[in-house]
Chain A
Amino acid sequence: MKTESVLEKVLASGQMAVTSECGPPRGSVPDKIIEKANLLKGYVDAINVTDNQTAMVRMSSWSSCIFIKQMGLNPILQMVTRDRNRLAMQSDILGAYAHGINTMLCLSGDHPKFGDHPMAAGVYDLDSIQLVRMVKDMRDEGKFQGGADIVNPPKMFIGAAANPFADPFELRVARLAKKVKAGVDFIQTQCIYNVDKFEKWMEGVRERGLHKQVYILAGITPMKSVGMAKYMKNKVPGMDVPDEVVKRMSSVPKEKQAEEGIKIALETIERLKGVEGVNGFHIMAIEWEEKVPEMVERAGLLPRPQV
C-alpha cells in the first residue's frame, strides 16, 4: 500500500469502488458542503471535491475537503493547474495532507473562458501529467519539484482524469499510458454514454497492459431530461452522447425522463461491471446528488466494504 487512502484500500481489495462528487458552494457556507456530503455517507468510498469547476469561483477544494474529513468521510482533493503555479500547488498539498487528506485528483481544469471570470489569467505552469509526476515525486522521493527535501512527505493516492471520447481517438490510450508513466494510481473517466466506444478504448488499454498498472473508475452521469441529453451532446466539448440515447430519452413522457436517465446509467454500470480493467464507478450526479444513494443501491453496489 502506497498510502493510507481508503480508496486505495478498497481498490486493492479487488472490490468495485464507488466515488461521487461534491461541488463546493459559491459562498462561505459550510452547511452546503456538509449537507451534500451527508447524502453520500455510507454509499460511496470517497467524495471528489471539485476545484473551481467550470472555471467558476467556489469555496476552495481543500477547505471543503477538511469539512468532509471532519465528518469522518474520505474526500478526494481535486486540483487544477489553471489557477495556481507549482509553489501554490505544493503548499496546498502539504496543507491538505497535514489535515489528513490523502487522495487527490490532478487536472488541468476548464479554460477560464467557460467560467465567470473569462478575463482571468490561466496559470498552467504545469499540465495535469506534470502535476501527477510532481505529486508522485513528493510522495516517493520526498522531494519538492525544485529538488529540496520535504519534511514528512505527503503520501497522496494520485488520481487523474481520462476522456476516451475526445479526439484524436488514436491518442487517447497513449495519453493514458503517459499518465501511468507519470505515476498515476487511479483514473476517473469522462461520463460514458457511448459504451461501445468506451469498450473499444478499454480494449486498447488492456492491449498495452495498462489495466494492470492503474485502477480505472468509469464515469457515470445520469441524465435528468432529454434537454440535458441534447445539451451534453451539442454543447459540452469532448462529450459523446449517441443519437440513440437522445432518442431513448425523448421516447418517454417528460415526467418519466428522469427515471429513464437513471435506468440508462444503471444499465451502463451493469454492462461495465463485466469489462476487464474497470475497477469501479465514479458517479457524478450534477446538481442531483440526492439520487446517488438510490443509484448505488439499485446498481447492487451496497454495502460499501469496510477496509
Chain B
Amino acid sequence: MIVADPKPFQQIRGFLEDYRKILVLGCGTCVTVCLAGGEAQAELLASGLRISFSKDGKEATVLEDTVQRQCDEEFVLPVLERVKREGIDAVVTLACGVGVNFLSDRIGAIPVFPGVNTTFYGGNVEPGLWSEMCAGCGDCITHLTGGICPIARCSKHLLNGPCGGSEKGMCEVDPQNTECVWQLIYERMKLLGRLHEMQNLIPTKDWRPAMDGGVRRSVREHIFRLQYKSGAGA
C-alpha cells in the first residue's frame, strides 16, 4: 500500500488564510489503513481547523467528506459536483499525492492542498509501524534476491551488497531501526538453499522503467479505450 504521514497542522493552516469555505477530503483506501488520511483523520483535521479559525477570529466554514478512492473518477466526480454546488473555494485532501493530482487535474479554478506527505510503498510490520518494501522501479528483480528488495530497502540501493557498513545485522545509516537488507537477503537465500546464487553479479540496472525513462503509464489493452470502441464514449 501507499503510506503517508500527516502534514504538520500549522503548515496546513498556513495554506488556508485566503479561503472561506474549505472541504477537508479523506480517502478511504491506503491512507485510511495507515491512519494518516481516512475519515477519522479528516474529522480531526476539520475540527482542528475550526478551532484554530475561531481562535484567530477568521470566518470560514470547514466541511468534511471521505470517498472510497481519490484516484478513480467514479468516486471523485461526486466530490467535484459538490464543490461546485456548495461554492467550496479550497480543498485539503488527505489522500496520497495521487489524490492531490487527480483532483487538481479535474477541479478547475479551485486550489487543492495536500494534507499528508506521501512517503513510500510499504507494509504494516507491527501495530503502528509501516516499513518501506518496494520502490516501484518498474522492473522487479526480487526473483534474484530471495523476494527481498535491495532497491527499496538498502540505503544505497546496492544490487551486489552488503557494503562495509553492515554491522550486527543493522544498516549504518539507521542502526537503531533499519536492518541491513543484505543480511536479510543472505539469511533468506540460506534458508532457501540458494546461497550459491549470491555469487552471481547482478548487472547494472536499466532505470527507464523507473522514473528516469519519463512519466510512466500502465495500459491494459483489453479494456483501454473500450468505451471508444463500443461507441459509448468519445
Interface residue tally for chain A (C-beta within 8 Å): 34
Name the distance in Å between B156's Cβ and chain A's nearest Cβ: 5
* CB 8 Å contact bits of B148-180 with A (1 = contact, 0 = none): 000000011111111111111100110100001
* Alpha-carbon distance A175/B217, docked complex (angstroms): 37
Cross-interface CB contact of B201 among A108, A111, A182, A238, cutoff 8 Å = A182
* CB 8 Å contact bits of A98-127 with B (1 = contact, 0 = none): 000000000010110100000000101111
The answer to whether residues A127 and B156 also contact, given A161-B164, A190-B164, A237-B165 and a CB cut-off of 8 A, is: yes
Shortest Cβ distance from A190 into B: residue:
B164
**Residues of chain B in range 192-222 having any CB-CB distance to chain A below 8 Å:** 198-199, 201, 203-205, 207
Cβ contacts under 8 Å, B166 to chain A: 166-168, 238
* Alpha-carbon distance A171/B172, docked complex (angstroms): 17
Shortest Cβ distance from A189 into B: residue:
B164
Cβ contacts under 8 Å, A110 to chain B: 165
* Alpha-carbon distance A220/B99, docked complex (angstroms): 55
The answer to whether B165 and A127 have CB atoms under 8 Å apart is no
The answer to whether B155 and A111 have CB atoms under 8 Å apart is yes
A134 within 8 A of B: yes
What are 14 sample pairs from A and B whose C-beta atoms fall under 8 A apart?
A110-B165, A111-B156, A122-B156, A124-B158, A125-B207, A127-B158, A128-B158, A128-B163, A129-B201, A130-B201, A174-B198, A181-B199, A182-B201, A237-B175
Cβ contacts under 8 Å, A133 to chain B: 201, 203-204
Besides the contacts A167-B166, A238-B163, what 14 more A-B pairs have beta carbons closer than 8 Å? A86-B204, A108-B158, A113-B155, A126-B204, A127-B156, A127-B159, A128-B158, A129-B160, A129-B201, A168-B169, A174-B198, A175-B160, A181-B199, A190-B164
* Alpha-carbon distance A168/B163, docked complex (angstroms): 10
Shortest Cβ distance from A161 into B: residue:
B164
The answer to whether B164 and A113 have CB atoms under 8 Å apart is no
A145 within 8 A of B: yes
A170 within 8 A of B: yes
The answer to whether B198 and A134 have CB atoms under 8 Å apart is no
B120 within 8 A of A: no
The answer to whether B157 and A124 have CB atoms under 8 Å apart is yes
Cβ contacts under 8 Å, B204 to chain A: 86, 125-126, 130, 133-134, 145
The answer to whether B160 and A130 have CB atoms under 8 Å apart is yes
**Residues of chain B in range 131-160 having any CB-CB distance to chain A below 8 Å:** 155-160
Cross-interface CB contact of A167 among B180, B198, B207, cutoff 8 Å = B180
Shortest Cβ distance from A126 into B: residue:
B204
Shortest Cβ distance from B168 into A: residue:
A167
Which of A127, A128, A161, A182 has the largest number of chain B CB atoms within 10 A?
A127
A139 within 8 A of B: no
Interface residues of chain A, those whose CB is within 8 Å of chain B, are: 82, 86, 108, 110-111, 113, 122, 124-130, 133-134, 145, 161, 163, 165-168, 170-171, 174-175, 177-178, 181-182, 190, 237-238
A-B contact count (CB 8 A): 93
* Alpha-carbon distance A145/B155, docked complex (angstroms): 24
Cβ contacts under 8 Å, A124 to chain B: 156-158
* Alpha-carbon distance A161/B169, docked complex (angstroms): 20
Cβ contacts under 8 Å, B173 to chain A: 111, 113
Cβ contacts under 8 Å, B172 to chain A: 111, 237-238
Cβ contacts under 8 Å, A174 to chain B: 198-199
The answer to whether A168 and B158 have CB atoms under 8 Å apart is no
The answer to whether B199 and A108 have CB atoms under 8 Å apart is no
* Alpha-carbon distance A178/B164, docked complex (angstroms): 15
The answer to whether A237 and B167 have CB atoms under 8 Å apart is yes
Cβ contacts under 8 Å, A167 to chain B: 162, 166-169, 180, 183
Cross-interface CB contact of B203 among A86, A130, A178, A237, cutoff 8 Å = A130
The answer to whether B156 and A166 have CB atoms under 8 Å apart is no
Which of B163, B169, B199 has the largest number of chain A CB atoms within 10 A?
B163
* Alpha-carbon distance A111/B183, docked complex (angstroms): 18
Cβ contacts under 8 Å, A122 to chain B: 155-157
